[in-house]
Structure 1
Amino acid sequence: MSARQELIEVGRYLLNNQLAWGTSGNISQRVDEGKMLITASGTFMGDLKEEDFVLFDLEEQKNLSDRKASKETPMHTGIYRNRPDVQAVIHSSPFYTTLFSCSDEAISSELFIENMYYLEHLGYVDYFHPGTEELGQAIAEEAKKSDVILMRNHGVVVMDTSLSEALMRIETLEMTCKMIVTAKASGIKLNTLSEKTIKEFLEDSRYKPRKAR
């Protein structure tokens, strides 16, 4: 499957699983040396076509295609430039995740297996207008230590070594946020795992090998 076809499948998956809606959000994948494919501006995530992607030079910060790149290109380029290990980036605004980005509610990473693994490095950035250099710089800096970044009153951006792993991050985050909201509404107290248990789980690869940071 080509990189464009992979991205098309991811866009469809995001929309079909309520992890994206309409034209909100953008996805990218590192291709070749120093280049990325990113969704073009105004594309509908659930109906992407091969011509809906822009080839972008990460070193020269130059659009190599005829289409206009997503307005969030500064966010994606900042991540790739600061994180050589990252091969895929997803930015979206899932309902429960966005709800948390608009509140001061904490997101726990001590609840269940995938939650411990995929949300180990979760960070936040303050609100900046979409597509601005300020937002791109804030994300690029936070990406040095976080794989999941909530943007206050905006949404989330996740990154990983593949599109499938990036999908797992955003899906795990949305499930966690939904669990917390549902538990609070139902009066259910969630029990977290101990620091010792989490350390053992992550360091002894009880789920899968811990990714180097």
Structure 2
Amino acid sequence: MTENPQLHALLAACHWIGDKGWCPATGGNMSLRLDGEQCWITESGKDKGSLSEQDFLLVEIASNQAASGRIPSAETGLHTLIYRLYPQVTAVLHTHSVNATVLSRVEKGAALVLQGYEMQKSLSGQQSHLSSVTIPIFDNDQNISALAGRVAAYAETTPLPYAFLVRGHGLYCWGTQVAEARRHLEGLEFLFQCELQRRLLEAQ
């Protein structure tokens, strides 16, 4: 495998995510753009907390196919969609945390709107707690092509700057570098936990 500092950074992020418990039971998938045509993505069925470099497969962004013949993540099509939509994105993290999974079901609307939290500034471009952060929520679908089609249709009219949720499933977030994607993930997880706690307390 070609020496790539960003791949080392992604591997470290995967181990960190595993330690956080955000990808239990081999769930989730992570990827890194190699160039305009290919990306590295985690092989299906691998525990994210104990990955090695050999557990990443080189996939064609246009076709979602791994040249090696091994099986990439079932959700490869959502990663490659993000790379096609946003050429500046180089890393995508997909997690299955309790916070993201539950909040995506508790929120019945088409988006989660976060406002009033200082931690919003962990997201690139956010300057103040007074602004709002909108995270779209898409209904889950075992047909990844159909789900990717809905995400793409949304993105035609509304940019997806940080992330989206899949209802009852988890979070997709990304960045221009692995470090930015990791910061977005950590910031969003904090915000999700705060929002769940706020809603729980208000319901009492």
Give TM class, smaller chain.
0.7 to 0.9
RMSD over aligned CA atoms reads 2.3
- Name the count of aligned residue pairs: 187
Q: Compute the TM-score of the two structures, normalised by the length of structure 2.
A: 0.81
Report SS of the residue matched to 1:109.
strand
1:135 alignment partner, one of 147, 150, 166: 147
Letter in 2 for 1:170: L
Q: 2:42 & 2:14 partners in 1: Cα distance? A: 10
Contact persistence 1:63–1:69 (CA under 8 A) = yes
1:187 Cα deviation after fit = 5.0
Write out per-residue CA displacement over residues 33-72 of structure 1, whole angstroms, 9 at most, x where no aligned residue. Answer: 3110000111110000111011011134431224211110
Q: 1:153 & 1:14 partners in 2: Cα distance? A: 19
Find the counterpart in structure 2 of residue 115 from structure 1.
120
Q: Which ranges in structure 2 are unaligned for 5 or more consecutive residues?
A: 124-131
% identical aligned pairs: 26
1:34 alignment partner, one of 32, 37, 47: 37
Find the counterpart in structure 2 of residue 94 from structure 1.
97
Report SS of the residue matched to 2:25.
coil
Q: Residues 141 and 11 of structure 1: is their aligned pair in 2 closer, same or farther, counting only changes over 3 Å? A: farther
Write out per-residue CA displacement over residues 88-120 of structure 1, whole angstroms, 9 at most, x where no aligned residue. Answer: 111111111110111226744322333155273
Q: Does 1:58 align with 2:61?
A: yes
Contact persistence 2:113–2:133 (CA under 8 A) = no
Report SS of the residue matched to 2:196.
helix
Contact persistence 2:117–2:191 (CA under 8 A) = no
Report SS of the residue matched to 1:86.
coil
Q: 1:143 & 1:17 partners in 2: Cα distance? A: 30
1:149 alignment partner, one of 164, 175, 185: 164
Contact persistence 2:165–2:172 (CA under 8 A) = yes
